[in-house]
Structure 1
């Protein structure tokens, strides 16, 4: 099995206030389906009210992110599936539920972890 990150930035989910409860219902239905299928690992939305910080090896904490990285916000889901095709199917289900295109990334396997 391979783990995948399915995500989207906040700006991609352009829905009205009237639609948001339907989006939440549909997104939760996909998550429940993924749990029932045994592929759901973890997911949620990034709390945009809490500023990101950088933590150095010596424990020094500074506000912000890596300068070269783009802003991380929105929602994400981590799944564990047998194939890329299966990951694409789950990403499509989430895209329908959230009413926005999803980004799919594969985690590297580390046999020593």
Structure 2
């Protein structure tokens, strides 16, 4: 089985304040379904109020991150048997979050 990252950038999440309670309920229901199915690994959202930093090998910290780097929004990591199953879960999350989801697979690392 492979681990899949299902995510959306914050700029894709364009909803009204009135929709937020239902989106919260619907998205948490999908996550609870994934937990019951035994496929949930972890998930959440990037805290965009905390600026990212770049840490070098000597421990130096810089506010200058890689050019073009952007990680924000919400995500879930699920462990699934097939890409088709990952697409199904991504569609469930897209419906619950009211925005399309990006789907990526993690490369297998036998030491992890």
**Bin for the TM-score computed over the shorter chain:** over 0.9
- Find the residue that maps to 1:22 and give its secondary structure: helix
Alignment length (residue pairs) = 112
Q: CA RMSD in A?
A: 0.8
1: CA distance, partners of 2:44 / 2:20: 15
Task: Name stretches of at least 5 consecutive residues in structure 2 with no aligned partner.
Answer: none
Please list every run of at least 4 consecutive aligned residues from structure 1 whose deviation after the TM superposition is greater than 4 angstroms: none
2: CA distance, partners of 1:91 / 1:74: 15
Q: What TM-score comes out, normalization by structure 1 length?
A: 0.96
Does 1:103 pair with 2:108?
no
The structural deviation recorded for 1:68 is: 3.2
2: CA distance, partners of 1:105 / 1:17: 29
Does 1:5 pair with 2:5?
yes
Q: What TM-score comes out, normalization by structure 2 length?
A: 0.97
- Find the residue that maps to 1:78 and give its secondary structure: strand
